[in-house]
Amino acid sequence: MTELYPLDNPVQRYDWGSPRQIPELLGVPADGRPVAELWLGAHPSAPSRSGGAALGDLVRSDPEGMLGRRVSDRFGPRLPFLLKVLAAERALSLQVHPRPHLARAGYNRENALGIPLDSPERSFHDDQHKPEMVVALTEFEGLAGFRTPRTVLGLLDGLDGPLIGRVRTALEADRTTSGVRQAFVELLTARTSATCADVVGASVQAVRDRLASGSPSRRADATVVRLAEQHPGDPGALASLLLNRVTLDPGDALFLPPGEAHAYLSGLAVEVMASSDNVLRAGLTSKRIDVDALLECASFAPRRPATPEITTSGGRGQVHTYRVPVAEFALTLADVDASEDVTLPQAGPRIVLCLDGSVELTSDRSDDGPARLHRGESVFVPHDAGNLTLAGSGHVVCAWVP
């Protein structure tokens, strides 16, 4: 008999989270404290559970049945993706994620130093890379990837102050990737100075004055001011001028390959990534900032933010599948109603989350009958469950391995 596994999923209470959005999704009372993320997966730092057992343990108990031979041969006895719901009321840290070889090297280095896995002094919590994709559920704001030196110099035009001056000098001297890197270094290393708060404050005030006078770069200036209000004295607020500013409407998506500098600013979204918790922070955070590791892992090539390939299916075009050039994950969002059943990915491990409404999930190999999912409920579907169909009325997200 093949089972479907109802999930009990952990939440993360980071200080940038919304006090209400994830509790509303889960149908639980808000307690006034921020709830930043809902994790659905098997990462050992915060695994989902089913029937009291950690999802990772269930996967390891029968890798081939849970994952399928294709997935277990490629990734071993582990779920290769992590699905999240992210609710940002304030900006997340300015960050990058490592590429595979750098993740392994950093993890092994910190192990050799004897740094505990749960230590706040640790940057690498596992040995995996962390590409990720975010799909907006509400209007979603962020920063992603470096602007061209020419664009940044235009945004700096008319701004005074020694820190802005050093950034400008770096870009005027070298308009290649090396110049972008040096400009970013000027901002990151400013925090080591005893006068950092004053120097950053003077530059932010110049941006604030320009914004008040009717700035032609109003959006970029408003972002600096907002970030400076959330993180006074942090040069990460000024670093936002170097990055592309992004707004996603519901259903829009963004792909962040390893090494891409980014920061999410506000909104509700689903996020899927390789199953990793490796975050290298540059600023806008009270957590560990590891400048050396970040500079080793970051890509400074100016480019527009990457978007996934989106395909549409279903008789009403109600199923949207998001694919990116990584092996660990893909995402399907479905708008289910009574007019037509919806087919979900048919093989490999899958996690299905009901975002609103109520749906029935049917597996053609389960002896238990349909699984009914209400808003905020989720289920792990093993490979052996076979074909999946959805009926009812609601919005559903399914993470799977392509």
Q: Which residues are catalytic?
A: 281
Residue 295 tokens read as: 């500079």
Residue 216 tokens read as: 């032609």
**How far apart are the C-alpha atoms of 227 and 248, rounded to whole Å?**
19
CB 311 within 8 A of CB 259: no
Q: What is the DSSP letter of 44?
A: T
- Residue 254, SS3 per DSSP: strand
Tell me the sheet residues that pair with 370: none
CB 350 within 8 A of CB 390: no
How distant, in Å, are the alpha carbons of 14, 137, 199, 358, 389 from that of 340?
Answer: 40, 23, 60, 15, 10
**How far apart are the C-alpha atoms of 212 and 248, rounded to whole Å?**
26
The contacts of residue 71 (CB under 8 Å, 6+ apart) are 80, 348, 349, 383, 401
Count the helices and strands in the chain (H runs, E runs): 12, 21
Q: What is the DSSP letter of 190?
A: G
Provide the CB-side half-sphere exposure for 89 (13 A, CA). Answer: 15
